[in-house]
Structure 1
Amino acid sequence: MAAGVIVVGVALVVVLRPGRPTAVTGAQEIPPTAEVMRTDLTQTTRVNGILGYDSSFSVPAAPGGGVATWLPAPGAVIRFGERVYAVDNRPVPLLHGDTPLWRELAVGIDDGPDVRLLRTNLRAFGFGPTLNTDSDHFSTAVGDAVARWQRAIGVPDTGKVKPGEVVVASTSLRIVEIRATLGGPLPPVVVTASSTTRVVAVDMPVAQQSLAVVGGAVRVLLPAGTATSGKVTSVGTVATAVPRDPPGSNNDSANDGAVNATLPVRISLDRPDEAGTLDGAPVSVEFVSATHRGVLAVPLVALLAMPNGDYAVDVIETGADRTWTARRVVVRLGFFAAGQVEVSAAELGEGMKVQVPAR
């Protein structure tokens, strides 16, 4: 994914209004104003990203093969205990865990973490409510629970579980691609899947890597024109070089890779539902690049350019009789962000009103 970076900067736009005396009392309507606020100003840097789903899984076929007799649809979500596919009319359900089954589980086998995984799932299914999930031992009670579970899902109640008769994953699965054909022999990989967790993947230019901090808040601009919030969950440490020019071009240089190197950054969404179901959709991510806290700020459009190169604002003061006075105050400019500018002057304070152009 090519990285694109946009610094959300500020073009200094000032209004040239005719000069007026230091104080003017007007009989006409009070001009439009904006309040002088004490606030936090934040500049952001915008980087392109891809909205998708976290993780990637390949579901292998059961040993010995067979005929695919049921397959899920792309985009379907397979939850705990549900069938992932069916072979020879036998459902292959989803168990939760981190240890795939590598041997037949039955009474008499050696203790192991795969037995503990089975115990945990049987108890969660409700077929072994008294099973100790801290045990690695395949007892007769475990075998009886397996048989009850097998009868419930419509397979022979052998009391044994073989590799390939279940799929083990740490999360619910969202089906991405179907590799098998209904009614055909199982291929080595039946389906590919992802988790159901929404993530944004960003290739962050190395020159901007300091902006991506684990736990840092970001703003994600979605394809529909809306925005949602998120947090940085991981920042890679291995850079990938993206050549600036096609290989073999006359502009190749030894420094291009370093200039265009990127790091993978992963972002979680605070409200995943706001992202809808789009997969592989382009988004923009705004990272905080600088913040000035507790500063006096006015809208950029309130600034006046003075002939001597200074900048000023017109402070509007109103009376009880709806008369108003304009007082021009020269200000020192500071930080610019989001259409606001930091200003300071001895005669300017929070809550005052400054004139802005009519909309």
Structure 2
Amino acid sequence: MTTKEEAEHLPAVVEPGGAPAVPDDAERTPAVAEEAAQPAAAEDTDPPTADRRKRRIRRTAVIVVIAIAVAAAAGLAATGAFSGDDGPATAAAPAGPAATTKVQRMTLTSTETVDGTLGHGKPTAVTNGSAASASGQSGGGQAAADSEFITWVPGEGDTLERGDTVYRVNERKVPLLYGSVPLYRTLEQGSEGSDVRMLERNLADLGYDGFDVDDEYTYGTAQAVEEWQDDLNAEETGTVRPGDAVVASGARRVAELKTSPGAVAGGEVLTWTGTERIVSMDLDPQHEDLVKEGSKATVRLPDGSNVVGKVTDIGTPASDAAASGGGAGGEGQGADEATLPVQLEIDDQKKLGRYQAASVDVILEADSRRDVLAVPVNALMARPGGGYALEVPKADGGSDMVPVELGMFASGLVEVKGSGIKEGMSVGVPK
């Protein structure tokens, strides 16, 4: 038996690394360490190094087992064992297009958008002592005498119709007649011509009778004229002179007054326009082939709504310099600024809402292709080496690239042709 004193003088056990082995008991609490300092029991015959080796082996074994368990857990997690999936892992499905659209069969139309102006058209002048043409322009005529005065004018914005008074001279009414032939001569019994027919048509529409509407100014016509002159507070002569009435193609809207009651008669009385709102545009001559009389166009209003317009008048190309009277020696740009005046009428005036004057867009048809297959432009896929293809999805979730030939582009769509491209088939587009 080794006593306590002998144990204290035993040499320390040196590990193969050369450092003294530190008993595990040194890591315990002070109470346990103090107990370990007592003499070892006689039946404890195993050397201290053997105990340490056994403990070290046990620790190493525990570490290895833990490492294996961690690795196994990681493997199970990777295979989905913890997710409840008992089946074998499957390969990723082939990727198809993010979204699809349909190939359409349609009429594809390309357009050209130009600036236009909504309004009542260019005002024309009405001159006292003359009869207006069908367009509202005044013609030459006898000037009013110095003793004659303007005694009444309508208001700006007023609408004048057949038989309405355009103005008064010495309280004599000067009415509006509808027609295409101005009063350019004195009409009396025995006169013949289209201006006679125009006068008789107006008299009949105003309720006067006793004559036939034809090209002959008869006694019956003269009697009807006298009755009409009485209603106008005019001298009953039975003849009609230039300046006794103003002729226009239809109802007119007073744009601006040029005189006022009390002024000496003679000269401009007012300017007027048609009553319906129209669209005017100055077209670049290179787009002249896009318009013809009777052709339709879309007019886009400031609020984004659309109305249909019809071309009713195409003027002659003219430059701003020519329109303003500039000569060859002026500073105008000449033919470089030449434009083609075009006028459109709007049949459905209600769709114009409350717009009286506004800037608008006029959308003209430039080209049209009927019965073609078309897709959105963003459905096109560039092919290596050039050209384009459509991505056609397959049943397995993948897709095929089908080469196509391109036709006309219009409104974000493009005409496509190609083997296997059919109406209604799905093609890929960005999501």
List per-residue Cα deviations over 1:305-341 (Å, max 9, x = no partner). Answer: 45554433333478xxxx9765443333332110111
Give the Å deviation of 1:36. Answer: 0.7
Contact kept in structure 1, 2:392 and 2:402, CA below 8 Å = yes
1:137-156 matches, within 5 Å, as: 137-139=217-219, 141-153=220-232
1:311-330 matches, within 5 Å, as: 311-316=388-393, 326-330=399-403
Query: Whole-Å Cα distance in 2 between the matches of residues 242 and 39 of structure 1?
Result: 45
1:71-90 matches, within 5 Å, as: 71-90=153-172
Higher radius of gyration, 1 or 2: 2
Give the match for residue 347 of structure 1: 420
TM-score, normalised to structure 1's length?
A: 0.74
Kindly report the root-mean-square deviation, in angstroms, between the aligned alpha carbons of the 2 structures: 3.5
Query: Whole-Å Cα distance in 2 between the matches of residues 84 and 239 of structure 1?
Result: 33
Please, which runs of 5 or more residues in structure 1 have no aligned partner? Answer: 1-22
Give the match for residue 132 of structure 1: 212
Query: Whole-Å Cα distance in 2 between the matches of residues 329 and 258 of structure 1?
Result: 50
CA distance change for structure 1 residues 289 and 163 in 2, over 3 Å: closer, same or farther? closer
Higher RCO (CA-CA < 8 Å; seq separation 6+): 1
List per-residue Cα deviations over 1:229-258 (Å, max 9, x = no partner). Answer: 223334344443679xxx9xxxx99xx644
Give the match for residue 406 of structure 2: 333
CA distance change for structure 1 residues 277 and 178 in 2, over 3 Å: closer, same or farther? farther
Give the match for residue 262 of structure 1: 339
CA distance change for structure 1 residues 40 and 101 in 2, over 3 Å: closer, same or farther? closer
Of the three residues 185, 199, 204, the one matched with 2:283 is 204
Contact kept in structure 1, 2:197 and 2:213, CA below 8 Å = yes
What is the number of equivalent residue pairs in this alignment?
Answer: 317
Contact kept in structure 1, 2:311 and 2:344, CA below 8 Å = yes
Give the match for residue 274 of structure 1: 351
Query: Whole-Å Cα distance in 2 between the matches of residues 317 and 131 of structure 1?
Result: 83
Matched, 1:186 2:259: no
Contact kept in structure 2, 1:54 and 1:196, CA below 8 Å = no
Secondary structure in 2 aligned to 1:148? Answer: helix
Query: Whole-Å Cα distance in 2 between the matches of residues 227 and 326 of structure 1?
Result: 40
Contact kept in structure 1, 2:175 and 2:246, CA below 8 Å = yes
Aligned AA (2:128): A
Query: Whole-Å Cα distance in 1 between the matches of residues 398 and 157 of structure 2?
Result: 65
Matched, 1:229 2:303: no
List per-residue Cα deviations over 1:326-359 (Å, max 9, x = no partner). Answer: 544333333211011112221220011223344x
TM-score, normalised to structure 2's length?
A: 0.63
CA distance change for structure 1 residues 136 and 226 in 2, over 3 Å: closer, same or farther? same
Secondary structure in 2 aligned to 1:214? Answer: coil
Contact kept in structure 2, 1:180 and 1:186, CA below 8 Å = no
Give the match for residue 53 of structure 1: 120
1:288-303 matches, within 5 Å, as: 288-303=365-380
Aligned AA (1:291): S
Give the match for residue 120 of structure 1: 201
Please, which runs of 5 or more residues in structure 2 have no aligned partner? Answer: 1-92, 130-143
Contact kept in structure 2, 1:313 and 1:331, CA below 8 Å = yes
Matched, 1:218 2:282: no
Contact kept in structure 2, 1:105 and 1:138, CA below 8 Å = no
List per-residue Cα deviations over 1:139-179 (Å, max 9, x = no partner). Answer: 1x223323333444555655454443322222221211111
Aligned AA (2:303): A
Query: Whole-Å Cα distance in 2 between the matches of residues 104 and 206 of structure 1?
Result: 43
Give the match for residue 68 of structure 1: 150
Contact kept in structure 1, 2:171 and 2:233, CA below 8 Å = no
